[in-house]
């Protein structure tokens, strides 16, 4: 299966002021620090990790809306640049973004119909009547009846607004959707509907997804492969069920352990030790070592590389957990 998106060694560092306020010495914040992955056409890669680990920055680097310090992005066999030339614009049409908060992604003053047609107008696609027809058919595909065409965003529920955002993306017939926490701002009761819709749309329009979430449980429902990020790096990558039932990296293990199960009656089973991570002045060696229950001397000096394990997974750990499944079937 050929990859639609190939990302190799992405790096984004920011120079920010240190602890001394406005006049503090500049320090390096490693938002993304060497991220690589590939997504075959028609598949979903779930990118998961705590807030601040670099997921949204990765998304922006992939789309070329943020200049990278290093690394390469190949989309459909062509390099993605960050120069806004004609090639970039046509690539951007084929790579659409779905954000967390549908209300801020929409214009409160424009009707749903106008907003769904707008991207096609901006890209000069079709005549007015064709855009109108296409908008109605895309709205239908995302579960919005034509009666919503003349409504305004504030008249819609959160779930309906996210459907409008999806329709705006789909009217451009993209190949890749980058979904950055697409259900996090929605009521729990409608999150599953939007997840199911995304799965249906993938099938219907042969879409490829980069699906970003801080929630491994959500990612497990949609992803064909999962990449777990910690402090700007991918620390484990592989099949979602393998990751969920027998995580190899201690950080993945902690993420899985933090998911409440019926048996724990809503309580997390294992909390992460230590302080929340800071991408400024990351610890030497393995950056997870201050929180890792398996850390040994080697972990404090030598950074582990992402290496293949016997079962086809990849983990960046000197002492991956390879034994008994860490979690009972949920």
Footprint of ligand ADP (CB under 6 A): 14, 16, 29, 31, 49, 51-57, 279
Query: Which range in 172-180, 190-198, 293-301, 305-313 contacts ligand SF4 by CB under 6 A?
Result: 293-301
Query: Which range in 50-58, 102-110, 135-143, 157-165 contacts Mg ion by CB under 5 A?
Result: 50-58
Is 247 among the residues that bind ligand SF4 (CB under 6 A)?
Answer: no
User: Would you tell me how many other CB atoms lie within 10 Å of the CB of residue 105?
Assistant: 18
Backbone angles phi, psi at 9, to 5 degrees: 60, 40
Nearer to ligand SF4, 166 or 317 (CB): 317
Is 213 among the residues that bind Mg ion (CB under 5 A)?
Answer: no
Cα–Cα dist 203/240, whole Å: 19
Nearer to ligand SF4, 60 or 233 (CB): 233
Q: SS3 for 148?
A: helix
Strands, E assignment, 181-232: 208-213, 225-230
Binds ligand SF4 by CB under 6 A, chosen from 73, 97, 304, 313: 304
Binds ligand SF4 by CB under 6 A, chosen from 99, 295, 309, 327: 295
Closest approach of ligand SF4 to the CB of residue 317, in Å: 3
DSSP class per residue in 70-95: EEEEEETTEE--SS-SHHHHHHHHHE
Is 56 among the residues that bind Mg ion (CB under 5 A)?
Answer: yes
Sign of the dihedral defined by the CA atoms of residues 92, 93, 94, 100, in that order = positive
Cα–Cα dist 81/84, whole Å: 8
Is 289 among the residues that bind ligand SF4 (CB under 6 A)?
Answer: yes
User: Would you tell me how many other CB atoms lie within 10 Å of the CB of residue 286?
Assistant: 30
Nearer to Mg ion, 59 or 142 (CB): 59
The listed partner (ligand SF4, ligand ADP, Mg ion, none) that binds 227, CB under 5 to 8 Å by sort, is none
Nearer to ligand SF4, 29 or 295 (CB): 295
Closest approach of ligand ADP to the CB of residue 29, in Å: 5
Nearer to ligand SF4, 37 or 288 (CB): 288
Contacts of 284 (CB under 8 A, 6+ apart): 300, 301, 303
Closest approach of ligand SF4 to the CB of residue 284, in Å: 11
The listed partner (ligand SF4, ligand ADP, Mg ion, none) that binds 53, CB under 5 to 8 Å by sort, is ligand ADP
Largest CA distance in the chain: 68
Cα–Cα dist 89/122, whole Å: 11
Cα–Cα dist 180/148, whole Å: 25
Query: Which range in 13-21, 24-32, 135-143, 294-302 contacts ligand SF4 by CB under 6 A?
Result: 294-302
Nearer to ligand ADP, 48 or 139 (CB): 48
Strand 70-75 to 78-79 pairing: antiparallel
Is-contact 186 157, C-beta < 8 A?
A: no
Q: SS3 for 54?
A: coil
The listed partner (Mg ion, ligand SF4, ligand ADP, none) that binds 31, CB under 5 to 8 Å by sort, is ligand ADP
Please list the residues that pair with 72 across neighbouring strands: 8
The listed partner (Mg ion, ligand ADP, ligand SF4, none) that binds 16, CB under 5 to 8 Å by sort, is ligand ADP
Closest approach of ligand SF4 to the CB of residue 294, in Å: 4
Sign of the dihedral defined by the CA atoms of residues 76, 81, 82, 83, in that order = negative
- Give residues in contact with ligand SF4 (CB under 6 A): 249-250, 286, 288-289, 292, 294-295, 299, 304, 317-319
């Amino acid at each position: 299966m050929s990859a639609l998106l190939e990302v190799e060694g992405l790096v984004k560092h920011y120079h920010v002021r240190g602890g001394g306020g406005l006049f503090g010495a500049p320090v390096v914040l490693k938002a993304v620090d060497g991220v690589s992955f590939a997504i075959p056409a028609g598949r979903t890669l779930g990118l998961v990790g705590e807030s601040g680990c670099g997921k949204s920055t990765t998304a922006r680097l992939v789309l070329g809306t943020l200049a990278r310090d290093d690394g390469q992005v190949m989309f459909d066999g062509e390099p993605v640049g960050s120069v806004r030339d004609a090639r970039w614009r046509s690539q951007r049409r084929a790579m659409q973004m779905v954000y967390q908060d549908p209300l801020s992604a929409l214009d409160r003053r424009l009707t749903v119909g106008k907003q769904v047609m707008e991207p096609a107008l901006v890209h000069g696609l079709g005549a007015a009547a064709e855009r109108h027809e296409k908008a109605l058919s895309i709205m239908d595909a995302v579960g919005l009846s034509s009666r919503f065409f003349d409504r305004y965003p504030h008249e819609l529920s959160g779930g309906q607004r996210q459907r409008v955002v999806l329709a705006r993306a789909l009217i451009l017939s993209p190949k890749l959707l980058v979904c950055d926490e697409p259900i996090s701002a929605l009521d729990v009761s409608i999150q599953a509907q939007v997840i199911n819709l995304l799965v249906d749309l993938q099938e219907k329009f042969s879409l490829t997804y980069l699906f970003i979430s801080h929630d491994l449980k959500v990612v497990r429902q949609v992803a064909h492969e999962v990449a777990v990020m910690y402090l700007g790096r991918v620390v484990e990558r592989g099949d979602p069920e393998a990751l969920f039932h027998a995580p190899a990296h201690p950080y993945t293990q902690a993420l899985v352990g933090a998911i409440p199960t019926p048996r724990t009656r809503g309580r997390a089973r294992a909390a992460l030790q230590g302080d929340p991570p800071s991408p400024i002045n990351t610890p030497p060696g393995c950056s997870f070592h201050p929180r890792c229950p398996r850390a040994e001397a080697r972990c404090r000096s030598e950074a582990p590389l992402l290496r293949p394990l016997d079962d086809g997974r990849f983990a960046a750990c000197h002492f991956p957990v390879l034994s008994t499944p860490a979690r009972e079937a949920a």
